[in-house]
Amino acid sequence: MKEIRWHGRGGQGGFTASRLLGIAASVHGGKHALAFPSFGPERRGAPVLAFTKIDDTKIRDRSEVQESDFVVVMDETLITPEMRKGVREGACILINTENTAPYESVFEGCKIIGLDATALAMEILGRPITNTAMYGALAAASGLVSLDAAMASIRTEMKPSLAEKNVKIVAKAYETVKTLA
């Protein structure tokens, strides 16, 4: 089983990205998936955690992710040394940042990939909503779902007026990370 932990702030779409990944894996990828949030105070800007589990067989364990294979950080201001807890050795960490150097000591023993998801979202959406950019980055770095499945999940779940812009973001993030990974 592959376990993914998403860190973001309320309003950034962390749980939506987690759910889109689960849909891509299960509906469009032939795997089994669970996606679920963990909220503290439910308000815009508050830290939010979401989880996705993906496996080839039915997932019976519905507990929080304990040992992440992938960690997606949509807001680098959330990174603290405690974030390393529960991350497998050799895990892949995707951070919405231009510069990953400040986080190498926090995520020692892990592969760190940075993507300026905010700039990408501003360019295409005109708003700093980074979830689909980071979703595209994860799809590229992990191979858990194909680009086609990722784009299909967006078309399945979003209004057509939003879907095509978000498909464009996913594709651009995917291609950017593929060149880095």
- Give one DSSP letter per residue of 16-27, joined into a string: HHHHHHHHHHHT
The parent domain of residue 66 ranges over 2-180
Q: Looking at residue 176, what is its pLDDT?
A: 96
Token pair for 39: 């909220």
Which structure tokens are listed for 88? 């497998």
- The total domain count for the chain is 1
What pLDDT, on a 0 to 100 scale, did the predictor assign at position 40? 59
Q: What pLDDT, on the 0 to 100 scale, is given for residue 171?
A: 98
pLDDT at 151: 98
Sort strands 47-55 and 2-9 into parallel, antiparallel or unpaired.
antiparallel
Q: What are the backbone angles phi and psi of residue 10, rounded to the nearest 5°?
A: -55, 130
Q: Which residues of the chain have pLDDT under 50?
A: none
- In single-letter form, the type of residue at position 32 comes to H
pLDDT computed for residue 43 by the predictor: 66
**pLDDT for position 38:** 79
| CATH number of domain containing 37 | 3.40.920.10
Q: What's the predicted TM-score (pTM) here?
A: 0.94
Q: What is the pLDDT of residue 63?
A: 78
